[in-house]
Amino acid sequence: MPHAFVCDAIRTPFGRYGGALSGVRADDLAAIPLRAQMQRNPGVDWAALGDVILGCANQAGEDNRNVARMAALLAGLPLEVPGATVNRLCGSGLDAVGTAARAIRAGEAGLMLAGGVESMSRAPFVMPKAESAFSRTHAVHDTTIGWRFINPRMKAQFGVDSMPETAENVATDFGIARDAQDRMALASQLRAVAAQQAGHLAREIVAVPVPQKKGDPLQVAVDEHPRATSLEALARLQGVVRPDGTVTAGNASGVNDGACALLLAQTGLTLAQMDVIELNEAFAAQGLAVLRLLGLPDDDARVNAWGGAIALGHPLGASGARLATTAINRLHATGGRYALCTMCIGVGQGIALVLERV
C-alpha cells in the first residue's frame, strides 16, 4: 500500500465563546485554513485534489448542509473538487485526518485536504416541529454542546449524562482527586503560555480577519483561551455539576471557535516508542484517568508539552485536527519520530492516530 504523508498543517487561532471569532460564520472560518493551504503551496495542482474532508460536531446552523463543500467553494478551490463532512463528535477532526489517510493508502486518492471546524459561539437554538395539529406546546434546544432531541429509548437504556457529569463519574470511578485535576489544568495553562511566548504556536496559526464597523479588519492571530491562573485560584472554583464536585470551569476545556486543515495502521508500536503524546484535555479528570490506565505518570513530559485543551480550548470538530497539527510541529521541533494523538468522544467512544516524522 502507498504511504500517506502530511505535507502541511495550519489552523486558525481558537477563540473564546462569544469572543474575537464569534462574528465569523463556521463556513467562512473553515475556508480560511483551506485558502491558506492554497497560498502556502502554490505549486500544487489543486484540480487534482481528491476530496476535502472536514470534521464538524454540530451542523445545526451555519455549518449545515455539508460545511466541507461550502468551505471548499468559499476558499476558491476548483468546482470539481468534492467535499464531505464527518461527525464523530469530539473526534471529528482527527477522524477526518484518518479518513483522508486511508483513502490515500487505499489508492483511491493521491492528494487530500482534511481538518475540522466548529463555531460554538454561533451554534443556534432549534425548535422541533409540532407533533399534532394545533399543538400549543413547544421546546427550544441550545445546540452549543450536549444532548438535544433525546430519544427516550436511548435515555432509558444508556442514560444521557452531560460531559461534565460524565467527567464527575470518571473522577469518582478512578479516584481522581480535585487537587490532581487542578494541577493538570495549571500545567496546561503554563505550558500553553510558554509555547506562545516561544513562538511554537504561531507557526501553526493563520490569522483570521474579522471585519470592523470602521477601518481595516481586526487580524486575530493568537489563541484567546489561555489565561493566567494559580492553584489557589483554581481551588476556589465551585464544581459545575454540583457545588462540592471536582469538575470545575478551571479544570475543563473551553467552549470555543476554530478551524484547521492538513494537506495530506495498525502500527505495532508501543507507548514507549512515542516521542510526543497529544491527549485531548476535555476534562482533567478524563485526561488523568487515561494516563493512569495507560500506566503513564500524571506529569509525563511527552504529554501536551505546549498546553492542552484546558488552556487552548476545544472547538469540538476542529480539536482533533489541532492535535495532529501540534503533534507534527512538536515532532519537528524536538526531532522526534513518533507522535500519538488520542481523544475521548461523546457517547462512549474514543479515537487515536499515530504520526511518524520521515
CA distances in angstroms from 54 to 38, 68, 92, 177, 349, listed in the order given:
16, 5, 8, 36, 19
* pTM for the structure as a whole: 0.93
Round to whole Å and give the CA distance between 20 and 106: 41
3-state secondary structure of 94: helix
pLDDT score for 205: 97
Contact assessment for residue 241 and residue 300, using Cβ atoms and an 8 Å cutoff: no
Residue 347 lies in a domain: yes
Looking only at the bridges linking them, the beta strands covering 208-210 and 218-220 are antiparallel
Looking only at the bridges linking them, the beta strands covering 51-55 and 112-119 are parallel
Residue 3 lies in a domain: no
Residue 140 lies in a domain: no
Q: Which of 278, 262, 276 is nearest to 323 (CA)?
A: 278
Round to whole Å and give the CA distance between 343 and 350: 6
Phi, psi of 164 (to 5 degrees): -60, -40
pLDDT score for 267: 61
Task: Give the other-Cβ count within 10 Å of 345's Cβ.
Answer: 20
Residue 136 lies in a domain: no
pLDDT in tens, the chain (358 residues): 789 999 999 999 999 999 999 999 999 999 999 999 999 999 999 999 999 999 999 999 999 999 999 999 999 999 999 999 999 999 999 999 999 999 999 999 999 999 999 999 999 999 998 888 888 888 899 999 988 899 999 999 999 999 999 999 999 999 999 999 999 999 999 999 999 999 999 999 999 999 999 999 999 999 999 999 999 999 999 999 999 999 999 999 999 999 999 998 446 789 999 999 999 999 999 999 999 999 999 999 999 999 999 999 999 999 999 999 999 999 999 999 999 999 999 888 899 999 999 9
Range of the domain at 224: 8-123+161-356
pLDDT score for 136: 87
Residue 149 lies in a domain: no
**Residue 204 bridge partners (DSSP):** none
DSSP assigned state of 238: P
Residue 338 host element (H or E): strand 338-345
What CATH number is associated with residue 238? 3.40.47.10
pLDDT score for 312: 97
**Residue 112 bridge partners (DSSP):** 51
The pairs formed by 232-237 with CB atoms below 8 angstroms and a separation of 24 or more are 234/182, 234/185, 234/186, 235/178, 235/179, 235/182
**Residue 356 bridge partners (DSSP):** 338
Q: Report the catalytic residues.
A: 90, 314, 344
pLDDT score for 285: 97
Task: Give the other-Cβ count within 10 Å of 121's Cβ.
Answer: 21
Round to whole Å and give the CA distance between 82 and 101: 16
Tally the domains of the chain.
1
Residue 148 lies in a domain: no
pLDDT score for 131: 86
Q: What residue has cell string 461550502? A: 70
Residue 142 lies in a domain: no
Mention every residue, 6+ apart, whose C-beta is less than 8 A from residue 96.
Answer: 53, 54, 55, 86, 114, 115, 116, 320, 321
pLDDT score for 7: 95
3-state secondary structure of 32: helix
**Residue 195 bridge partners (DSSP):** none
pLDDT score for 269: 85
Residue 145 lies in a domain: no
Round to whole Å and give the CA distance between 104 and 2: 7
